[in-house]
Amino acid sequence: MTDTKRFVITNDTGAIKVGTDAFYVLIQTALQDHKPHAIEVFVSDGPTDTNGYMQVTVIKGALSIMNHKESLAHLSGRYGVYVKTEDENASVIFEKWNGL
């Protein structure tokens, strides 16, 4: 059974920060109107339902998902990153790719 953790990030940048103290990337959600939005973030340790989501990138390494300077989750390995934006709502899935 796949274990999935859920977080909610509220920000006005429309992005999720993923990386280390020295280097990070922003995963864009298309909510870039500088208004606060809640973004659901799911971290799955294996295959999960990504129907309706668009794969935006692949990340690999020992990384953190951050909300401002707070670390919400630590990732280790290779993950597919999927985004879905509908109206004022966005969600992001980090799906661990085992064996790749």
The pTM assigned to this predicted structure is 0.89
d(CA 39, CA 45) in angstroms, rounded, equals 20
pLDDT tens track for 14-41: 888 899 888 888 888 877 777 888 899 9
CA dihedral 41, 75, 54, 46 (to 10 degrees): -100
Mean of the pLDDT values across residues 44-67?
A: 93
Mean of the pLDDT values across residues 85-89?
A: 85
Q: What is the mean pLDDT of the chain?
A: 89
For residue 1, the model assigns a pLDDT of: 55
